[in-house]
Structure 1
Amino acid sequence: MTDAPDVSPDTAQIAPLPRVSIQAFCETGDLAESIRMTAADRRMERAHVRVQMGGGPAAVEAYRNAPTPNVIIIENDGAREPLIACLDKLSEVCDPGTKVVVIGRVNDVHLYRELMRRGVSEYLVAPIHTLDLVRTLSDLFRAPDAEPVGRTVAFIGAKGGVGSSTICHNVAWTIGRSLDMSTVVADFDLAFGTAGLDFNQDPPQGISEAVFSPDRLDGNLVDRLLSKCTENLSLLAAPATLDRVYDLGSDAFDTLVDILRSNVPCVVMDVPHVWTSWSKRALTNADEIVIVAAPDLANLRNAKNMIDLLRTQRPHDAPPRLVLNQVGMPKRPEIKPAEFIKALDVEASATIAFEPHSFGTASNNGQMIAEVSASHKANESFLEIARTVTGRLESRAQKKTLLDPLVSRFLKRA
């Protein structure tokens, strides 16, 4: 298997940057390349980043007769005194509101305090990780008392009819009940979405009102559109009508998702099996992606194409999660799960057996699997997926057992 990207556990808590301009003045090629990689991160999509060489002196010269951007990044590869002198000159030409980030080589608390007194927003010590720089830039535009941004999880099927929506809704329900986390399910399949049916909800308004009213979309409107399913789970249902054509732009869901993730700890997006500019954008920008597939050749091809693309588009994020569903369907030739997983070079988050009775009963009754059968084996898979995508996966080594107190006392005596 290929090595997983170096992703920190709280990656999903990094808020996307707003539409700001950032100019970096580097002294070394390594940092210049690192900032270019940072600019390619999905959270930096709205920001305009420009990288130049020359360090602080180049920055001072550049802004003598030009307005300063929202953020200036300066690399200092030398002594302390020239840096302080350069910042004093830069302060004379900086516009009000411009934030300055200094990247240096010295880990010195006295230098840090001196820079803060001069109005520098942040001082980082090189070398820096791409995600650390993204997090620093993101935090510059967050209110000090702002709540952490919510995690977004996108579910999509590698092929139509593989049960992606069913898995999505059961996992969202599990996150709300078993993990006690406030969750919103957003059904992006405007024409044929089944979230309303699965949760036995028929709200008069739903996600289409949010998508087609971008000018008046705010937190209050979204609250009115949400349908309460359980104490911790709300639903933005799809209209599931064909009285209009849903030709949406690439940014159709951006504002809605931004509002949701600023108000709810977990946003679960049910993305239909289509390939459009907005569906690609929804997947690319999600904190976690779950691809649901059945073990046949078409699913294998499609899943591989999606995983390869998303790995390229999201180099600093964990690869998409894979859920194998409907395994063991009678009389259907299948690719063995182990071979399917090996071909994709990923680990499966869950393998769920084909069991039409319980799943069919739950679907027809507007219930979740746990409501139909609390002891059903699939519930363990839903909980495992829920823990994984929310970052609450407890390692086996951390799980407590009845013997832990005895072992602890024995170790103390030893």
Structure 2
Amino acid sequence: MKEIVDAITSGQASAGEFSALRLPESYRAVVLYKSEADMFEGMASADKDPRKSIHVDEVPVPELGPGEALVAVMASSVNYNSVWSSIFEPVSTFAFLERYGRTNELAKRHDLPYHVIGSDLAGVVLRTGPGVNAWRPGDEVVAHCLSVELESSDGHDDTMLDPEQRIWGFETNFGGLAEIALVKSNQLMPKPKHLTWEEAAAPGLVNSTAYRQLVSRNGAAMKQGDNVLVWGASGGLGSYATQFALAGGATPICVVSSEQKAEICRSMGAELIIDRNAEGYRFWKDEHTQDPKEWKRFGKRIRELTGGEDVDIVFEHPGRETFGASVYVTRKGGTITTCASTSGYMHEYDNRYLWMSLKRIIGSHFANYREAWEANRLIAKGKIHPTLSKVYSLEETGQAAYDVHRNLHQGKVGVLCLAPEEGLGVRDQELRAKHIDAINRFRESDPL
């Protein structure tokens, strides 16, 4: 592994030299064990501790198949799907691996007693399988997390509709929280040259998800002048939605939970901010009953900020806790785009405010290759910036997942895999210098 790291950090090794490097028989990876899938049984979600289920272990390098690539992972990041994996919710991800393993002979590789998790990476291609022409060893890449088979016609208009669509590192094995990852070649995209490995690894999943949900015609198709309500506007998803709104000529109304998080939004250029804790919004009277008076108070506050206008788009991802309010405050003919449901999947809302006001609810899940490519292109051009706040070592991934689970973080948290230290991998110093304040914006924040 040292030879691989040396070749990468030199920045000068050729494709031939990378091809000649000997692959190790095993590598270190963040894993969950199938034998522990019931370890949190009977516990409330909030009490489940990823530090107990996440392990770092040595695992064999997987077999390389057609259309695939092995990537040396310099850095990765923690997404909420890694939290779900680690607390075995809503179901154990080993059920996904078993189901995938039954589809074909090559997919059987994924059905193992351990699961290498992680849905982001920045690194270097080591090997490519038969049929891969666009990438070669030595290419510096990031990976998006959409894994598709594309044998059905359903996926050829929008690959997210492919019946065999999966999220890599969540519904497949050999994910990015590791020293080596196995991906399909159509997951690869060029690494933004002005970013470090850990910065480049941070945007992938959340940036692409926010792009589809808010900008793409498959989502809300945001336009100039739209008012966009962004829940969790300084978090992993919301921080990118806020940037897309500002870059696209829309007006974000940022909902946050502290003054420190409000200040992060202001530093991005947002002006309309609601601190839901300071203003005391409680949308549920108890676990069974919502409070429409709080919806109305929330809507009134939005109109105070916007000069009397309701929101055109709601960027929804908390789910159960906020969904009733989201439907209520959206303007007539407006759109609620939803994904994730981190506070609960069973949404409740008053349908009168939806049907009689001609509103739309759009389900949005990750992004297709084109959307992910466009989202990454905006990062590479310095139009959208990573929201990396803190970096952990591979051995500290359990703590990183714990912090995300407890919402003790801002933006995204990164994980160093093969990178020996932070700050490596920058190839365009001039572009970096131009945007250094924005790149470091979240690194300088206090999440508490």
TM range (shorter): under 0.3
Larger radius of gyration: 1
Q: Which has the higher contact order (CA 8 A, sep 6+)?
A: 2
Question: Greater helix share, 1 or 2?
Answer: 1
